[in-house]
Structure 1
Amino acid sequence: MKHDIFNNFLRLLAVIIFSTPILSCRDEVEKPYVEEYFIEVTINDAVVKFDDQASIGAIFNQYEGQYELGIYGNIGDFTGILIHIYDGEPLGTGSYSGLAQQEGFWEGVRFSFVDDLDNYLTDPEDPTGSVEILQMNDTIVRGNFSGVLKHLTSEETINISNGKFYVKHSN
């Protein structure tokens, strides 16, 4: 009888030992990869991140030889950023800076930042800003940006630095 109890104990122990790895292996359902688009920028030492997937993106426009890329992001109803890149040639990877009219076309970059009722824009008299497009294909645009913006109704300026964007474009 002791022998039977011992054999039953060994069988039970074997079942537990060998079934644990099998039962613990689950078919993990692979979650689909979701690409997160964003615009992130430091504004006067404060990091602002636009990551509401429904409120960020990019739009390409072309009209009579003027090429434009508009990158936009919003946080709620009262905070937003807009980055415009202009050129007389098709836009692609590379660096764009300043803002000037050349042979009837705009070339360079223009920024706009709105926070509540404060509006800041690229100063047309001193257009300080640059955008580097690192990647651009049929669906996304990735790059870096920085600049100085002037308040719409005063002399106050803000510095935008360490700007990064990775956005989907709709056209």
Structure 2
Amino acid sequence: MSAMHRIAVVEDATSAEAADCLDRAVAGWQAAGRRVAGVLALRDDAPERTCSAGFLRDIGSGRDFSIHLDTSPSDTSCHLDAEGVTAACAALIGQIPASDVVVLSKFGKLESMGKGLFPAFEAALAAGRPVVTTISEKHRAEWEAFAPDATYLRGTALEGWLES
């Protein structure tokens, strides 16, 4: 896999569809004997929430990390728990070198600031591991600055991407 294709983005899907696509890809890769590291978003579709993800699940350990604050900080309406995302990232960093592929649920607000899962993106690329993710449209400019040569895939093309 060339450096240009080391990062794939699942696009043209709702957040729920993209999460389902990542879930299916992980299951398929694991069934084929691939070592998968990373985190998947678990939806918590409570009607009063602006964000649907409530947890990040570490693929390797199965551990769930809460990423939702019950009360948003006074300076924002965002309920994202940055500490939970940082803890999930720290837990998976050591798994990256032994993996065949790294799945990181999203490049969003925190990652656009170099926080959250951003260290895992950097570690995966430094280790030469392919990465698959989704991106927040609000942070597309920051994503494109970070990964200008990323491959953009529709969900059904993801399973064949790793083999290419």
Same-fold call, TM cutoff 0.5? no
**Which structure's CA Rg is the greater one?**
1
Which structure features the higher share of helix residues?
Answer: 2
Structure with higher RCO (Cα < 8 A, 6+ apart): 2
TM-score (structure 2 length as normaliser): 0.30
